[in-house]
Structure 1
Amino acid sequence: MNTIKLRAENLNLSFGKKQILKNINIEFQENQVTSLIGPSGCGKSTLLRSFNRMHDLSPDAKIDGNLYLDDLDLYAKKNSVTDIRKRIGMVFQKPNPLPKSIYENLSYALHIHNYPKQEIPDLIEKALKESFLWDEVKDELKKPAVKLSGGQQQRLCIARTVVLRPEVILMDEPCSALDPISTKKIEDLILRLKKDFTIIIVTHNMQQAQRISDKVAFMYLGELIEYDTCHTIFNNPKNELTQHYIGGHFG
């Protein structure tokens, strides 16, 4: 049985007077891909971002409940946000490479976390290989990252996350701005990375969720409606609301 890597217990989250997440209880297993699905505004991205403390940047955010990485309380005051974000990486909807070279995009975080200088080139090569990007960029690592195609930029952002060896990778609609060929490369990459990482992805693409997920969580109006294996959610959902969403009746 797989180890529980990440979990939320009785999680409620509000921005000002508006409650976004309502009593969420969920566990994510190690070395699996879990997709969060549901209509826009249902709280998928808000849940995702709560795990690496992204809402700390919102002064009106109020969080009740508990979130854990293994047995680490992610919101305990004694725990460093920087350390948490090293263990729980994040890939955003739009590629956001730094205005630096390909090499510097990966070396920047390694320098911040005081990795030994002599180890950095090998760590960068490994991350680029894991992200299926090495063969395309190995001869032009000094090239500005913004000169890469959209799909390459997103793989670079994944490599930038992977290079720190996090335990969990959060992905917020990582393919929504990409063409089908780039999307296929990212999906292949996700399936490869789950051997070493626990991955949680927000997606609006039902076919994508079916292609890459071990488990699927369906959310609606801030509540977790149903959470089960990918096969069960798409072939035999227990909740009528899930059936209607999967069937395309709303979304």
Structure 2
Amino acid sequence: MDKIKLSAHHMDLYFGNKQILKQINIDFLQNKVTALIGPSGCGKSTLLRSFNRMHDLSPDAKITGEIQLDSQDIYDHQLSVNEVRKRIGMVFQKANPLPKSIFDNLAYPLRIHGFPRHEIPGLVQRALEESYLWDEVKDELKKPAVKLSGGQQQRLCIARAVVLRPEVILMDEPCSALDPISTHKIEELILRLKSDYTIVIVTHNMQQAQRISDKVAFMYLGELVEYGDTEQVFHSPQQDLTKNYVTGHFG
């Protein structure tokens, strides 16, 4: 039986007096890829950012209900934000390499979390290998990361997410700014990474969701409308709203 790795229970999210997410109940299974789909502004990215406490940075954000990682509430005061973000990594829509060398982009988070200096080169190499980037950059690790191509920069950001050996990787439209070849490489990478990680990805690309995900969650106006196996959601959806969205007859 599949293990539940990450879950939300009766979760509401408000910014000030405005409710953005309404009664979200969802379980993300270990070593599976779950795609969050739905029209722009429906709450997909807001939900994703809740899972590694990005909204802690917004003073008017309020979350009720529970978000659990291995049955532990990630908003429990006994669990620090740094610990949550070490266990739940995040890759953003736009590649955001640090203004440092390729090597230091990955070494920096390791140093922050106190990894022994002698272990860092090996961990950096492992993360670059996992992200299908090592062979392309191994002879120029001192090169500024911003000199890499867009696709390489995004794979570097994925490497930076995996270098701390998280349990979950969140991806917010990681291919939206990439060409088809780079997108294909990222998709191959996601399929390979799921053997070691639980992955939740926001995507507007219905074909991509079908290619890479095991589960699909369809959201609309801050609510979770339907959640199930990818094949079921796309080919025999239970809700008319889902059917209209996945077949392109929305609105």
TM superposition score category, shorter chain reference: over 0.9
Q: Which residue in the other structure is 2:160 paired with? A: 160
Q: How many residues align?
A: 251
1:108 to 2:108 alignment: yes
2:184 corresponds in structure 1 to 184
- Confirm or deny that 1:23 pairs with 2:23: yes
- Residue 120 of structure 2 aligns to which amino acid in structure 1? I
Deviation at 1:18, TM superposition (A): 1.3
Structure 1 CA distance, aligned partners of 2:223 and 2:192?
31
The one-letter code sitting in structure 2 at the alignment partner of 1:37 is: I
For 1:45, the equivalent position in structure 2 comes to: 45
**Superposed CA RMSD:** 0.7
CA distance in 1, matches of 2:231, 2:240: 16
Query: Distance between the aligned counterparts of 2:62 and 2:72, measured in 1?
Result: 20
Paired residue for 2:235?
A: 235
Show the counterpart of 2:215.
Answer: 215
Deviation at 1:11, TM superposition (A): 0.3
Give, in whole Å, the separation in 1 of the partners of 2:108 and 2:99: 11
Q: Which amino acid aligns with 1:103?
A: F
Three-state SS of the structure 2 residue aligned to 1:63 is: strand
- Please tell me the residue identity of whatever aligns with 1:203: T
Where 2:244 maps in the other structure, the secondary structure is helix
Q: Which amino acid aligns with 1:19?
A: Q
- Structure 1 partner of 2:248: 248
For 1:187 and 1:118, how far apart are their aligned partners in 2? 32
Question: Hey, what does 2:174 align to over in structure 1?
Answer: 174
Identity %: 73
Give the CA deviation at 1:46: 0.6
Match of 1:141? 141
The residue type equivalent to 2:104 in the other structure is: E
> Partner letter of residue 11 of structure 2?
L
Match of 2:8?
Answer: 8
- Once the two structures are TM-superposed, the CA of residue 250 in structure 1 deviates from its matched residue by 2.3
Q: Which letter does structure 1 place at the counterpart of 2:181?
A: I
Distance 1:2 1:13 in 2: 28
| Residue of structure 2 equivalent to 1:85 | 85
What's the TM-score once normalised by structure 2's chain length? 0.99
| Separation (CA, whole Å) in 2 of partners of 1:129 and 1:76 | 35
Deviations 1:193-227, CA, capped at 9 Å, x for gaps: 00000000000000000000000000000000000
What is the match of residue 65 of structure 1? 65
